[in-house]
Amino acid sequence: MSDNDRPLAVFDLDNTLADTAHRQRFLERKPRDWDAFFAAAPQDPPLDEGVALARESARECEVVYLTGRPERCRRDTVDWLAGHGLPEGRIWMRRDNDRRPARRTKLEILRRLARTREIRVLVDDDELVCEDAERAGFTVVRARWAAGSAALKVAQEREGRT
């Protein structure tokens, strides 16, 4: 079976594979310091549960990444994934000025991917993304292994930032 025939396992990054707790402080101040929040991403520790699931998924699936991080973070993101031994895979990122809610942007990409490939699973920590993906017929694993952040939740939904 070629890579193009393998089903996709789609993984979110922040609070699914990467622990963002150390940089939440940048979102808890007014105004939120988005530049500092994203600049600190290379120091994220990996979340063992998510990393193990991605590695396990790579046995049967092509692992790809779907994140609300802006495109300007691509190099840091690629380096972080490689540095933590995650499977190589395509990365879909938010355009730098796209402020739509994560549940809209991610579902749009999932539907596009599903036109030509089976999506075996979406792994994400954002409840709204998970709910919408399930309603659209996707199999979802909720990444509940990271500490929740009210500031990040607002950022994902209302501010379209991650």
Could you give the C-alpha distances from 64 to 6, 90, 91, 139, in angstroms and in order?
Answer: 12, 5, 6, 15
Residue type, position 20, single letter: T
Q: What is the pLDDT of residues 61-115, one digit of tens each?
A: 999 999 989 999 999 999 999 999 999 999 999 888 777 777 888 999 999 999 9
**pLDDT of 1 over the 60 cut:** no
Mean pLDDT of 110-129: 96
Give yes or no for a contact between 17 and 63, defined as CB atoms under 8 angstroms apart.
no
On whether the CB atoms of residues 23 and 76 are closer than 8 A, the answer is: no
Rounded CA separation 36/23 (Å): 8
Tell me: pLDDT of 3 over 80. Answer: no
Per the model's pLDDT, the better-predicted residue between 162 and 7 turns out to be 7
